[in-house]
Structure 1
Amino acid sequence: MTSVYFNLTTPPGEEDAALRRELTAKRLRAQGADEAVVDALDRLIARAEPGSGAVAVFAVDGEPEPTVVEMPGARPRDLAVHAPLPCLVPLLAWLQERPPYVLTLVDRKGADIETYRGGTATATTRTIDGPDDEIVRNAPGGWSQMRHQHRAEDSWEHNATMVAHALADDLADSGARVLLLGGDVRAMQYLTKHLPEGVRQEVTVGHVSGGRGRDGAWQHRKQQVREQVSEWADEETRKLLKRLDEGRGPSGLAVEGAVQTLRALARGQVGTLLVADDPADRRTAWFGPAPTQVSDRRTSLVASGATPVVRGPLADVAVRAALLTGAEVHVLEPGTPGGPSQGLGALCRYA
């Protein structure tokens, strides 16, 4: 398996892209990568559009088409690895910083909904207009004023209910746990009121400037979106580190260190794997065909009947086992305060 991460924006003072491509190919050949794969990867990188971001490419020896993942906004170090497993940690770290979210601008008639799936810079958009025509609440006067106000409020609430149901579907479909609202204050209140209880408990709701019509707030709104989505991602890390700290101890549900974490993965206990993205980490581990066949020692897997038994980078072996057993993976910066010892740990489903 060959994994390449290539920064499409050459930092000032560093080699130009052509020279970096040559170095990437040279590293892969030195590691024993298939020549056809090296050539295919080089052609793909050469065709990539220069700009702000990076590209990740994964190829299997003998397979005709590599898998390409565009990473807009990413600035990873160039990486070229030929190993038994794909190197997914940098990609997972990038996705983690760009979680899916839904931006919704509402008024009394309905809403414009933009759904951003994880890692993407472009949205799936749709417009929802409720069945009730817009009613201006303060139009008449006299004795009919109160009745007209009630009609207006009912109309707004009916439309907001329809938007709430559409939003619940979009949040569930995208897996987003961040909902950002902007627009008419009263319409937002009704919308929030009619979101299903499960959505309100699971989703973080934030607010942005501007409304549904074209206005001058879009530039400021983009910055608000970036800040709130980033803060949500940072808060998720803080919550996991808090759970790790609370789970330390003999009766806790946290494990840390390479050996203990691999043992938890081998028992299928892990709910969330915590792994540091450390390019200097040279540790290895062993794995067999089954998702739970992982160990720091080859002999233990051989004794269990696993065959073949393969050696790979520790982080990649742990990530493979976590993903194949349905666990989540959370990537940390090396040396994160409160992180697991040895840069590897887990929150377990059961003791």
Structure 2
Amino acid sequence: MKPDETIASETLRRLCSEGPVTSVYFNLTAPPGEEDAALRWERLARRLRAQGADGAVVEALGRLVARAEPGSGTLAAFASDGDPEPVGVEMADARQPDLAVRGPLPRLLPMLAWLQERPPYVLTLVDRKGADIETCRGGTRTATTRTIDGPDDEIVRNAPGGWSQSRHQHRAEDSWEHNATRVAHALADDLAETGAHVLLVGGDVRAVQYLTKHLPEGVRHEVSVGHVSGGRNRDGARRRRQTQVRDHVTRWADDETRGLLERLDEARGPSGLAVEGAAATLRALARGRVGTLLVADDPADRRTAWFGPAPTQVSDRRATFAESGGGPVEHGRLVDVAVRAAVLTGAEVRVLEPGAPDLPAQGIGALCRYA
């Protein structure tokens, strides 16, 4: 996914550029029998102070934790030393264990994994007059809704019998089609503006047929179109529709991951457009070749790598920097070093489940822009 839903890409670049960074994941629903949220935070705060975290940063993060809405999910928060405004994202339904760590790089992978399961989508409920369109830009952003009514208002096909019956029917059908055409153009604009690749449609069967017919060819080829229950009127289908939207969006995100892994497999070989393994992936990042980084988020992964001030200064060997004679060098978790390089060079990041089938070698790989 492009890591700019909910949390701006500029903010991610700043966090990856201005270490040290304090990263916190705080479970907003404490399991039964655990200490309450205030005591849990105090324990994490002591841990951060012991790691050398700035006192003002710890206090600012504490205020963010205190303001978070209790319930299902996890708060992800990040703060650079000396920054009075930490970045916070409430990850609904996430079951991330408490984590508080200060280091040269932020721990972004759990949040990026959660965000990629919540991509942008557009939902429309149509009838013969027009449509209600709900646009969700991904992550935690609130969906927005607008109404599109077509230019034609002759929508009733019931006319007196006789020679004029056919004419009334055709005029009504033409009106439905004109209205659906206007909705289709509005949807194409919303999909392009949000970058969404998921379109969900529900409502009057005939209106849906006309809408599908008039979607631009590019939309039909590039967007996953699914169908949901209910229509524009209150019909008791809202809860079922919400489940259908969530299921379809999740399937699309999973399909995207499978598609990237298939591309990685196909691109192995002489073309050189796929790399895998820690050393090869870091070399590709160091050359600015990576278009999409694929990396497993394994909390038990303790491998380290080295990085310098420039986005492409990354290596699995410190000696690489000694040979090049360039700038101050730091080390961090290998996966965090790789994510930093990807964010700062404009590459996409796809987070993989550890232990999933078809993982790249050593849990890390990349699809490259060029050989």
Distance in 1, Cα, partners of 2:159 & 2:25? 61
Q: Is the 8 A contact 2:122 2:200 kept in 1?
A: yes
Would you say 1:40 and 2:65 are equivalent positions? Answer: no
Per-residue CA deviations over 1:3-61 (Å, capped at 9, x if unaligned) read 11111011234333223212211221222211221122122212222111121111111
* Secondary structure of 1:143 counterpart: coil
Partner of 1:100: 120
Comparing 106-115 with 58-67, which one deviates more in the overlay? 58-67
* Structure 1 residue ranges without an equivalent (≥5): none
Distance (Å, rounded) in 2 between the aligned partners of 1:304 and 1:130: 64
Match in the other structure for 2:205: 185
In structure 1, what residue type is equivalent to 2:80? V
Instruction: Tell me if structure 1 keeps the 8 A contact 2:135–2:145.
Output: yes
What TM-score do you get using the length of structure 1 for normalisation? 0.96
**Pair 1:76 & 2:99 matched:** no
Distance 2:272 2:166 in 1: 60
The partner residue of 1:14 within 30, 34, 46 is 34
What is the 5 A alignment of 1:1-351?
Answer: 1-120=21-140, 122-351=142-371
Asked if the contact 1:276/1:331 (under 8 Å) is kept, the reply is yes
Q: Cα distance, 1:333 vs. partner?
A: 1.0
* Contact persistence 1:181–1:206 (CA under 8 A): yes
- 2:219 maps to amino acid: V
SS in 1 for 2:163: helix
How far the C-alpha of 1:250 sits from its partner, in A, is: 4.2
Q: Match of 2:78, SS?
A: strand
* Post-superposition offset of 1:295: 1.0
User: Retained in 2: the 8 A contact 1:181–1:208?
Assistant: yes
Of residues 131-140 and 47-56 in structure 1, the stretch that sits farther from structure 2 once superposed is 131-140
Distance in 1, Cα, partners of 2:80 & 2:186: 41
Q: Which amino acid aligns with 1:89?
A: L
| Shift in Å, 1:212 | 0.8
- Distance in 2, matches of 1:308 and 1:192, equals 57
- Structure 1 contact 58–66 (Cα < 8 Å) conserved: yes
Distance across 1 between alignment mates of 2:82 and 2:141: 33
Shift of 1:316: 1.3
What displacement does 1:252 show? 4.7
**Consecutive unaligned residues in structure 2, runs of 5 or more:** 1-20
Q: TM-score, normalised by structure 2?
A: 0.91
Residue 23 of structure 2 aligns to which amino acid in structure 1?
S
For the structure 1 residues 145 and 299, does the alpha-carbon distance in structure 2 shift closer, same or farther, using more than 3 Å as the test?
same
2:28 counterpart letter in structure 1:
L
SS in 1 for 2:91: strand
Please tell me the residue identity of whatever aligns with 1:113.
I
The percent identity for this pair of structures is: 79
Change (3 A) 1:151 1:322: same
Q: 1:219-257: per-residue Cα shift (whole Å, max 9, x none)?
A: 111111111111111111111121122223344522111
Size of the alignment, in residue pairs? 351
Mapped partners of 2:358, 2:35: distance in 1 = 37
CA distance in 2 between counterparts of 1:343 and 1:254 reads 14
- Alignment partners' CA distance in 2, 1:204 and 1:146: 37
CA distance in 1, matches of 2:318, 2:270: 27
Deviation sequence 1:179-214 (CA, Å, 0-9, x none): 000001111121122222212111100000101111
* Residues 274, 366 of structure 2: 8 Å contact kept: yes
Cα distance between partner residues in 1 of 2:25 and 2:88? 10
Offset of residue 134 of structure 1: 4.1
How far 1:342 sits from its partner (Å)? 1.2
Deviation of residue 325 (structure 1)? 1.7
